Structure 1
Amino acid sequence: MVVKKPVTKKPVVRKGTEKELKSLGKKIGKVPKFFKELTINDPEMYNLVIKMEDHIWDDGKLTRKTKKLIAIAIAAALRDQHAVHAQLIGAANLGVTKAEVEEALRVTFLLSGMPAYVYGKAQLDEVMKK
């Protein structure tokens, strides 16, 4: 007896999703794999997150560059390697300089201590080799 595997249809990804993911990549750096999977596994959640991302990263009273420096400092304080790396890539895409990141990391040192500063500095030196 031959057992047929059930045919499962892959959910259709909304048109324009790839363009949104590229745009998001420019804003934040590397888009995490799980987030890309949301486009198929939970499109409603994906749409909500994209809306929030757009709202957060759009220039307002703070520029995108300033927000990126804040994000780098927070990620370094949390010692989140993936987040620091991704935020640094995004910062480079926005034209943030190594000196600007170093200054933000000094604030991290003041508030979060030497380990957070050293952690962020090591990631910075790896991503922005200048």
Structure 2
Amino acid sequence: MAVKKPMMRKAPAKKPAVKKAATRGKDLKGLEKKIGKVPKFFKELTTNDPEMFDLVMKFENHIWDDGKLTRKTKKLIAIAIAAALRDQHAVRAQLAGAASLGVTKAEVEEALRVTFLLSGMPAYVYGKAQLDEVMKK
């Protein structure tokens, strides 16, 4: 006769610890240094939903930290994707942060040409118009 093993219970998932407000402020400043302008709604999470803010910050840091791609390259990808989606807010937010990473207008124009190749003329024109308005050089 086989002996039955007792069933193992999974421990309940732990909620992440919520950081203090001062720490969240430092996190925002660090993120702005890494990627440039941080959207208003994200800043509002620090008080409206601090637990969500902490989770998103962990995710943001993982994505934007230099790895095989530099932050600058990732910013160009983000600009191209935002242009392809024709998301004015996202394009402007990404462009606003691009200069602080040393992204040039010529580099953005080249990224937008790739967007044109894959997403068509409207996406290119849309991104180029935002670029010309935000990076007036």
Structure 2 length-normalised TM: 0.81
Structure 2 match to 1:50: 57
Q: One-letter code of the match for 1:25?
A: E
Which structure has the larger Rg? 2
**Greater Cα shift, 46-55 or 24-33:** 24-33
The structural deviation recorded for 1:13 is 5.4
The 8 Å contact of residues 34 and 64 in structure 2, kept in 1 or not, is answered as yes
Structure 1 match to 2:45: 38
Instruction: Tell me the number of residue pairs that the alignment of Structure 1 and Structure 2 aligns.
Output: 119
For residues 91 and 33 of structure 2, what CA distance do their matches in structure 1 show?
Answer: 15
Q: One-letter code of the match for 2:132?
A: D
Answering whether residue 41 of structure 2 is matched by residue 25 of structure 1, we say: no
For residues 81 and 120 of structure 1, what CA distance do their matches in structure 2 show?
Answer: 8
CA 1:86–1:46: 2 relative to 1, 3 Å? same
Answering whether residue 5 of structure 2 is matched by residue 14 of structure 1, we say: no
The 8 Å contact of residues 13 and 40 in structure 1, kept in 2 or not, is answered as no
Q: One-letter code of the match for 2:131?
A: L
The 8 Å contact of residues 35 and 101 in structure 2, kept in 1 or not, is answered as no
**Greater Cα shift, 76-85 or 16-25:** 16-25
The 8 Å contact of residues 73 and 104 in structure 1, kept in 2 or not, is answered as yes
Q: One-letter code of the match for 2:99?
A: A
**After superposition, what is the alpha-carbon deviation per residue over 1:11-70, rounded to whole angstroms, capped at 9, x for unaligned?**
x95222222212222333332222112111211110010000000000000111110000
Runs of 5+ unmatched residues, structure 2: 1-18
For residues 33 and 116 of structure 2, what CA distance do their matches in structure 1 show?
Answer: 27
- Counting aligned pairs with the same residue, the percent is 84
Answering whether residue 69 of structure 2 is matched by residue 62 of structure 1, we say: yes
Structure 1 length-normalised TM: 0.85
For residues 31 and 92 of structure 2, what CA distance do their matches in structure 1 show?
Answer: 15
Runs of 5+ unmatched residues, structure 1: 1-11
The 8 Å contact of residues 71 and 87 in structure 1, kept in 2 or not, is answered as yes
Q: CA RMSD in A?
A: 1.5
